[in-house]
Chains A and B, each alone.
Chain A
């Protein structure tokens, strides 16, 4: 990969697939990705996705209708000129279908209005990315891991189409140009459409070298393009997994043992079966489902069941027990050193704090579901998944069929946020459906979706610094403890000594100039059944809350302005300093005094290979209620493929993080998750949403991640703003509003008539 990713130049077959494993690059990859990169060349981190690898005959015939020209797994051109692009990543809202299409179309030479996009079939071989070691959409890696290969895939196709035209015209290919699906020879005024060239192009050998565009010639990349999936989504025409309808299909509504890891003992289904429209009641080890003609009747049946569970060893489990054990581990557990530079100075002022982060659910708007049809020699699955190839292989195991007998039809995802990186729901659906002779759509109610989430783990962190006489940190120590997601998801990707690289993401190498560092991780496994999972931002989201809150503590300790304090520590990191300065300028930091209990908080970080600064302005009422007034986010994500999506991802991501920081915590009582729906697992609404400005530092650096960046930076900006408004440092999420009460009298008076000042600022 070229040092300057946006530079033009020829790329050949070999270099484009090589993974850059330099350390700094690895750090910038972030999250889920970083772990796989750390494996080095010998592990799963081998190039899979490839600009020249073509689908096998069977898969092509099935998925593509044997198009005449399919130079790789992404581009299909038919004789009528129709261009179909196969998406390597899953679309869950992050606009990757648009971004991927832009990369392909830019080099291929078509407009976005001339293409259609298709979900990819399940295949690690064709769509697996080296960053994640498989066909996995997550870790904010999609653009980063396909930026090069998809452009090259487009260029390969374009080169071949030009070759055919040039040959027909007997001209030098370099004198031909491509525009909107047509190859032109301007000098002679001749042109041929892609459709006319497709059959001949399909017979050509692969070109070894192709020329990528100079960024200054980009037609699409860098422009705020409308999403390719918008038109259907505004009409309700997009098919999500839950919308799949098949002939003869029945619908199952499911209830698994509410106590984590509990099992099904017995079910009295007499009353359920008596309900007209209930077709069957089916059981697996830990769950029961009622099958009906429609969701409603199946749900009525489910409610009519008399179920007895074996709660098992978690029967008395509570959040407090989990928390106590975690705190104990953080104190006395055996740590793995992630990074150690220099040593802790004996002199200087020591500042130490402890922070706690809660378990979190995903609550995607589309509750989990999967539709499965199992016959004696085939298993078909319709599901919106971030890991279609994993769904395929687990389904093969459950059904006993070979993998070539399992077909996964991926769908649009009604939100992912890491929840659909898991295969628990489709696995359960397969286990139910293999008992039936017809296609079965298994839907989780919202309550089931939250109570059986695979939660973002809880964390307990000890952070400390030694300050010099000027209040500048000369040593920084970070000791984080929590469950490991990576250790279960990809045990082979665990690092040296069993280190979970996600757990220390953003903590291991903060952007600041601190000479001595010690970062440790303590693995603290949760009880069986309490499965911890990926979440939007996972490690980065929690570590940035701790580190950036602590940086504010240090600034306060040093008696410095939080902006100036950070600036002073960024003199060796100009890219990140520029991001900080941009946000400060755009919000007008320090320019005018703010009302009482109104204040701003800064947070800065380098998550997922991007650099980001959020400044959030809040008002804290006398009763401790927090109102979001305004937010400015500045970002350096390198080359921006689609500035519209960048803005949308940062806005949405920030609000996702603020929503969690303000309201969300999964708690456990009697071994079961207590929350179940939006009234007890609260989600930010439009009337709580401030205007969020997004500003970019533009350059031609390699693309950074986006999907999780806004989320990761949200909580510390909020906590720092609350500190600035109230003087109360929040060491625990979500925000405990009772700590923010101005004085006891505030709770003794009637507050309704006191209208809040309108926090919303005009653009």
Chain B
């Protein structure tokens, strides 16, 4: 049995120590917001935070985590940076298919936390490991800047229409 701290909750999981965290989250604990994209740390869809640092959970052996705190997309909104990033993502309406966006938001949140007003080069350094096949990159950049400055950075101002997604 391994003990894991995920989103502030302690979980005991009976899994082999070399099992990647991604599958422990998705298939054992049931947190499916973290996505499987490539399995080899090339796309970033599986990004979570380990003590606040972005890591690729698809290649992170769960046995190596120890007592470090795992934060996933489901709880990142509870942090000030995560909240800001999610709001900016809505304001710029970044998402398309949305599959990679959990990872994008986790990477962007870590960036904003360490660099409250990131330059383009800092955005590149933090975000280039995250692939978006819909190529929402132009808006990702705008949203990160918007989260930092509080000012609209997109090419148009999106009309807000709250909740209404399919379930």
Q: Do chains A and B touch in the complex (CB under 8 A)?
A: yes
User: Chain A interface (Cβ within 8 Å of chain B)?
Assistant: 87, 91-95, 97, 101, 111-119, 223-240, 242-243, 245, 251, 276, 293-297, 363-367, 412-417, 443, 445-446, 643-644, 647-649, 651-656, 659, 677-679, 683-687, 689, 691-694, 758, 760, 763
Knowing A236-B72, A295-B27, A363-B133 are in contact, say whether A678-B100 is a contact too (CB < 8 A).
no
Question: Given B37, B86, B155, which contacts A647 in the complex, CB threshold below 8 Å?
Answer: B155
A229-B165, A446-B39 known; A678 vs B131 contact (CB < 8 Å): yes
Is the CB of B54 closer than 8 A to any CB of chain A?
Answer: no
Q: Is the CB of A412 within 8 A of B155?
A: no
**Inter-chain contacts of B28 with A (CB < 8 A):** 294
* B155 x A763 contact (CB < 8 A): yes
Which residues of A have CB within 8 Å of B164?
101, 112-117, 228, 231
Q: Does B1 contact A (CB under 8 A)?
A: no
Contacts of B119-155 to chain A: CB distance below 8 A? 120, 123-124, 127-141, 153, 155
Q: In the complex, which residues of chain A have a beta carbon less than 8 angstroms from the beta carbon of B128?
A: 685-687
B77 at the interface (CB under 8 A from A): yes
Q: Report which residue of B20, B27, B28, B128 has the largest number of chain A beta carbons within 10 angstroms of its beta carbon.
A: B27
A232 touches B89 (CB 8 A): no
When distances are taken between beta carbons in the complex, the residues of chain B under 8 Å from A685 are 128-129, 131, 137
**Complex CA distance for A364 and B37, rounded to whole angstroms:** 9
The smallest C-beta distance from A32 to any residue of chain B, in angstroms, reads 19
Chain B residues with Cβ below 8 Å from A412 are 97-98, 166
Chain B residues near A226 (CB-CB < 8 A):
90, 93, 158-161
Which label, helix, strand, loop or mixed, suits the secondary structure of the B interface? loop
Which listed residue (B89, B131, B134, B166) contacts A234, Cβ 8 A?
Answer: B89
CA distance A125 to B131 in the complex (A): 38
CA distance A87 to B164 in the complex (A): 12
Q: Find chain A residues with CB under 8 A from B100 CB.
A: 365
Cβ of B96 within 8 Å of any chain A Cβ, yes or no, is: yes
- Is B12 located at the chain interface by the 8 A CB criterion? no
Q: Are B39 and A236 in contact (CB under 8 A)?
A: no
Is B95 on the interface with A (CB-CB < 8 A)? yes
- In the complex, what residues of A have CB within 8 A of residue B33's CB? 235-237
A413–B16 alpha-carbon span in the complex (Å): 31
Chain B residue contacts of A228, Cβ below 8 A: 161, 164-166
| Residues on the B chain within 8 Å of A294, using CB | 15, 19, 23, 26-28
One of A101, A224, A295, A677 near B157 (C-beta < 8 A): A224
Is A365's CB under 8 angstroms from B133's CB? yes
- Residues in B neighbouring A240, C-beta threshold 8 A: 35, 98-99
Q: Kindly list chain B residues whose C-beta atoms are within 8 Å of the C-beta of A686.
A: 123-124, 127-128, 130, 132, 137, 140-141
CA of A653 to CA of B135 in the docked complex: distance in angstroms? 8
Within 73-96 of B, Cβ neighbours of A (below 8 Å) are at 73-74, 77, 86, 89-90, 93-96
In the assembled complex, the Cα of A412 lies from the Cα of B100 at a distance in Å of: 13
Q: List, in ascending order, chain B residues with CB within 8 A of A296's CB.
A: 19-20, 23, 27
Chain B residues closer than 8 Å to A679, beta-carbon distance? 40, 42
- Complex Cα–Cα for A270 and B84 (A): 52
> In the complex, are the beta carbons of A235 and B74 less than 8 A apart?
yes
Q: Does B8 contact A (CB under 8 A)?
A: no
* Contacting pair B127 A683 (CB below 8 A): no
Contacts of A367 in B (CB 8 A): 36-37
Give how many A-B residue pairs fall within 8 Å (CB-CB).
244
| Residue of B with least CB distance to A114 | B164
Chain B contributes a number of interface residues (CB within 8 A of A) equal to: 72
- Residues of chain A within 8 A (CB-CB) of B133 are 363-365, 415, 417, 656, 683
Docked CA distance A243–B22 (Å): 13
Q: Is the Cβ of B99 less than 8 Å from the Cβ of A366?
A: yes
On whether the beta carbons of B38 and A113 are closer than 8 Å, the reply is no
Of A93, A111, A112, A225, which contacts B134 at CB under 8 A? A93
Given B40, B139, B161, B165, which contacts A225 in the complex, CB threshold below 8 Å? B161
A residues within 8 A CB of B110?
none
Cβ contact within 8 Å between B37 and A236: no
Partner of A643, one of B26, B96, B156: B156
A653 to B136, CA, bound (A): 10
Partner of B99 from the list A87, A119, A365, A683 (CB cut-off 8 Å) is A365
Contact present for A655 and B135 (CB under 8 Å) = yes
Contact A677 B40 (CB under 8 A): yes
Asked if B66 is at the interface (CB within 8 A of a chain A CB), the reply is no
Q: CB within 8 A of B96: which of A94, A242, A251, A297?
A: A94
Interchain nearest-CB distance for A495 vs B (Å)? 32
Chain B neighbourhood of A112, CB < 8 A = 161, 164
Q: Given A119-B166, A235-B74, A235-B77, list of 7 further CB < 8 A pairs?
A: A97-B165, A116-B163, A224-B93, A224-B158, A228-B164, A294-B15, A446-B37
Listed from nearest, the 8 A-B pairs whose CB atoms lie closest are: A236-B33, A93-B97, A414-B99, A236-B73, A655-B135, A233-B98, A93-B96, A112-B161
A489 to chain B, nearest CB (A): 22
User: Is B4 in contact with chain A by the CB < 8 A criterion?
Assistant: no
> Contact at B163–A229, with CB atoms within 8 Å?
no
**Which residue of chain B is the closest to A223 with respect to CB atoms?**
B159
Partner of A236, one of B102, B123, B160: B102
A92 nearest in chain B by CB position? B97
CB of B132, distance to nearest CB on chain A (Å): 7
Closest Cβ of chain A to B85, distance in Å, is: 8
CB contacts (< 8 Å) of A760 on chain B: these are: 120
Instruction: Report A-chain residues with C-beta under 8 Å of the C-beta of B97.
Output: 91-93, 364-366, 412-416
Q: Contacting A239 at CB < 8 Å: which of B23, B32, B156? A: B32
Q: Which of A91, A97, A687 has the most CB of B within 10 A?
A: A687
Question: Which of B98, B132, B140 counts the most A-chain CB atoms under 10 A from its CB?
Answer: B98
Bound complex: CA A230 to CA B89 (Å): 8
Taking CB atoms, residues of chain B closer than 8 Å to A115 are 164
A677 touches B86 (CB 8 A): no
The contact of A683 among B36, B95, B131, B136, by CB within 8 Å, is B131
Q: Is the CB of A234 within 8 A of B32?
A: no
When distances are taken between beta carbons in the complex, the residues of chain A under 8 Å from B120 are: 758, 760
- The interface centre, meaning the residue of A114, A230, A276, A693 with most chain B CB atoms within 10 A of its CB, is A230
